[in-house]
Amino acid sequence: MSKINNLLFLLLLAALVAGCSTITNLTPSQYPRDPSGFYRVEAEWRSREQAIRPDSFQPVVLVDFNAYPMHPIPLVEDRWEAFIPIPANKDYILYRYKFDFMENAISKPCGNSVMSAGYELRIEPKK
């Protein structure tokens, strides 16, 4: 029985040491209609993983089959934004974030990515 306990402890320890990455959506769930047709979306990236190369991030916002590149927000660490177009004939869109990055590995760096849950952005009619 102690071998099983030791194995469970090692698996739990490995999971804690490996860390985790999270993407937090900071975009409001609705915006008033903007005549420009562009709307700002923002996400925060957090990770305890030490192997990630911070200069390798290539985050995008995925809307339908389109990917819109995100840019770091000046003076704020781990925050990214993009302006996405929403046609005047749409009242809402579904979107998600995808962060592509490189991780250090034994032989050479390798690519990895993390994708967020899906979100809905509603556009209110102009009053």
Query: Three-state SS for 24?
Result: strand
Report the mean per-residue pLDDT for the chain.
86
Across 15-32, average pLDDT:
80
Across 108-125, average pLDDT:
93
- Which residues, in sequence order, are bridge partners of residue 45? 23
Across 54-74, average pLDDT:
93
pLDDT of residue 50: 81
Residue 88, C-beta contacts closer than 8 angstroms, at least 6 positions apart: 33, 37
**What is the identity of the amino acid at 77?**
E
Q: Are 34 and 90 in contact (CB under 8 A)?
A: no
Q: b/e string for 34-68 if b means 16 or more Cβ within 10 A?
A: eeeeebebbbbbebeeeebeeeebebbbbbeeeee
**What is the identity of the amino acid at 48?**
R
pLDDT of residue 30: 97
- Which residues, in sequence order, are bridge partners of residue 58? 100
Q: 71-72 and 79-85 as β-strands: parallel, antiparallel, unpaired?
A: antiparallel
Fold classification of 20-124 is Immunoglobulin-like (2.60.40)
